[in-house]
Amino acid sequence: MTDVTLERHTLTDKLGVIIDPELLSLALTHRSFAYEHGQMPHNERLEFLGDSVLGQAVTVRLFTGHPDLDEGELAKRRASVVSTVALAEVARRIGLGAYILLGRGENQTGGRDKDSILADTMEAIIGATFLSAGPDAATSLVLRLVEPLLADPERYGAAMDPKTSLQELAARRGFAPPSYGVESSGPDHDRTFIATVTVGDVSMNGTGTSKKHAEMAAALRAWHELADRA
């Protein structure tokens, strides 16, 4: 068994589902890698499919699991669970970044930890699961991945509005309000923003395609770091 095959096998073990090797490779291929290797296929079509599967699975789970919630609250909760920030959290939990095929530029600029790349790849894997193992397996995978969010009301709030949730948690812990700094890099048409948030003795980074998304990503990571402390 080659190193690459072994790595992919480890990933499918983490996911708890068997995915066709070719589909899995495609799901892990970012467009930056594809462009550097002769315009080979990449994962954006699978991402499109996975987004639809994800939305349906979460919608049905929320609808059946919360008969007391109105449409507006259901929509808010769904948006939080399927957001880029939340999906990136899910991806980090299974170490997905290590398996993604990236071009040199993306790799050198921290692409393996960018929320957008992690979230898109997570959706592509869901799409690959749908094609490889069927809709039931894909739905089961989605629900396993997002269960920590579904089971913890506080995580809903953090995923929906990380900056407010972090500020409230900081106040409860007796810290000063979080402070943010943002830097950017890359060409104007494809800028990457890196935000740093500091609260108490915690300092976390987050990346995004806008200042707002980068700050949200940093805030969510800082919120988890503080919330996980006893």
Has 68 been labeled as part of a binding site?
Answer: no
Given a contact cutoff of 8 angstroms between Cβ atoms, the answer to whether 97 and 91 are in contact is yes
> What residues act catalytically?
51, 123
Has 89 been labeled as part of a binding site?
Answer: no
Long-range contacts at 129-135 (CB < 8 A, ≥ 24 apart):
129/15, 129/17, 129/19, 129/50, 130/49, 130/50, 130/53, 131/20, 131/23, 131/46, 131/49, 132/18, 132/19, 132/20, 132/23, 132/24, 133/17, 133/18, 133/19, 135/53
Has 123 been labeled as part of a binding site?
Answer: yes
Positions at the binding site for Mg(2+): 47, 120, 123
Positions at the binding site: 47, 120, 123
